[in-house]
Amino acid sequence: MSLPAPSPDALAASQALQRLIADDMTRQGGAIPFSRFMELALYAPGLGYYSGGAAKLGKDGDFTTAPELSALFGQTLAHVAAAIMDQSAPHILEFGAGTGKLAKDILTEAAAAGITVESYAIVELSGELRARQQELLRDFPQVRWLDALPESFAGAVFGNEVLDAMPVDVVTLTEEGWQSLHVAASDAGFAWRPSAADAALRAQIERQIPDADSLPVGYVTEVHGAGCGFMATLAAMLAKGQGAAFLFDYGFPAREFYLGDRATGTLMCHYRHHAHAEPFYLPGLQDITAHVDFTAMALAAQEAGAQVMAYNSQAGFLIGAGIGELMQRFDPADALHYLPHANALQKLLSPAEMGELFKVLVIGHGVELPGQLLRSDRSHRL
C-alpha cells in the first residue's frame, strides 16, 4: 500500500504494541479472536490507537467526523436534546466525545437559545482525547467526565461514530460450517488463522445473521457481540431512568448487511486520511472499524428494556430536526461566510457523502420523539 510513512517515534510505539499483542497470543496458545486483536490495537493502555497520544480527528488526524465538518450538526442536536429534556431532566450524556467539538457546539447553541443544560456528562476511555476535551470545554462548568455509563440516567444521550469502533469477531462460512478467523503472529507481522467457533460465537451468528447457513461457502463477515452488549447496558440505563439515546454511525439493517457484494466483510481502516482494508497494518497507528448491524443493535436494546423509537438516514433525521432552518442564519449574499457552511451541509446530507451511508438509531424510555423526527422513519426496515 502507498501510505505515508510513520515517524520514528510512531513506528517505535507500533512495534511496542505489536510485541504486546504477540505476547498475548502466546499466553492464549498462539492465536486470539479478532475481537481481542481489535481491542488491543485500539485500546491497549498507552499504546492503542485511542489510548495513545497521536491526534486522530479533524484535518490533522486520520478522519473527519460530522461534528468536525460543521457546527450545524451540534446546533441541530441541541434542539433535539431540548425536546427530550423537556420530558425528562435537563441533562445530556455523550460517549466517545472525540475532540469535544460536538459538546461545545451543543452547549453553545443551548446557551444562545435559552435551553437549560444543568449537566453534560462525557464517557471517554481515551486519556489523550479526554485531555483535549477538557481544554476545549474549560469554559463550560456543567461538563464532567465519567469512566463508564451510569446505572440510570434521565435526559438526552448522544453517540457519534462509537458503535463502529467496538471490537467485532470476524467469521467465515466453510464446508464444515461457520469458523472464527483468529489472528496469529507471522513473519510479516500478523495473519488470519481459522479456528472453530465456540458455542457463544455460534449463538451470536445464528442470532445476528438472517439465513446464515444459506450464504455461500467462503463468505466473510463480522458479528457484533461487544456492540450488542453495549446496547443492552445503554438500554438498561435508560429503562431505569427516562430519556432517549441517539446513535449516529454507518451501517445497515440485517437484511441489507449480509449480501453477496459484501462477501469479504466490512472492516475498514483509516490512517492519515487514507482508507484501506488491512487491519494488521501498523497496529496502534490506524483506526479499525466495521459497519454496524443496526438490527442487532436494536434487538439488543429492545430485549434490555428500551423502546426502539426511530431509525433513519442521517440526512432524513437532520432535515426533520431542523438543520435547514438553522442554515438560514447565513446570508447567501455573503459568499465568504455562507459557502463553507453550505459545503459542509452538503457533505452531511448528500446521498453521495454522509447523508445516506450514515444512519441514526434512536432508543429510549418514557419519552416521545417530536413528530418531525418521524416523518421519514425507517424502523420497518430493521
Each residue's pLDDT tens digit, 151-175: 999 999 999 999 999 999 999 999 9
Instruction: Fill in the amino acid letter for 322.
Output: G
Distance in angstroms (rounded) separating the CA atoms of residues 138 and 136: 6
Burial (CB count within 10 angstroms: exposed 0-12, middle 13-18, buried 19+), residue 30: exposed
Residue 216 grid coordinates: 455461500
- Asked whether residue 329 is assigned to any structural domain, the reply reads yes
Ranges of residues in the chain whose predicted pLDDT is under 50: none
Domain that holds residue 125: 66-163+226-257+291-381
What's residue 320's pLDDT?
A: 97
Q: Does the residue 120 lie in any domain?
A: yes
Q: What angle do CA 317, 320, 321 make, to 5 degrees?
A: 85
Q: Measured on CA atoms in the order 83, 88, 89, 94, is the torsion positive or negative?
A: negative
Backbone angles phi, psi at 241, to 5 degrees: -125, -130
237 assigned to some structural domain: yes
In a domain, 268, yes or no: no
Q: For 213, which DSSP code?
A: G
Residue 170 lies in a domain: no
The pLDDT of residue 73 is 97
Residue 49 burial (C-beta neighbours within 10 Å; 0-12, 13-18, 19+): buried
Q: How many domains does the chain have?
A: 1
The pLDDT value given to residue 62: 58
Does residue 8 fall inside a structural domain?
A: no
So what's the pLDDT on residue 188? 84
The answer to whether residue 188 sits within a structural domain is: no
The answer to whether 307 and 363 have CB atoms below 8 angstroms apart is yes
For the segment 301-345, what is each residue's pLDDT rounded down to a tens digit? 999 999 999 999 999 999 999 999 999 999 999 999 999 999 999
Q: Is residue 218 part of a domain?
A: no
Helix axes 225-239, 199-208, angle to 10 degrees: 70
Q: Using only the alpha carbons of the chain, give its radius of gyration.
A: 21
Residues constituting the chain: 382
**Residue 266 grid coordinates:** 466490512
| pTM: predicted TM-score of the whole model, two decimal places | 0.95
CATH of the domain at 348: 3.40.50.12710
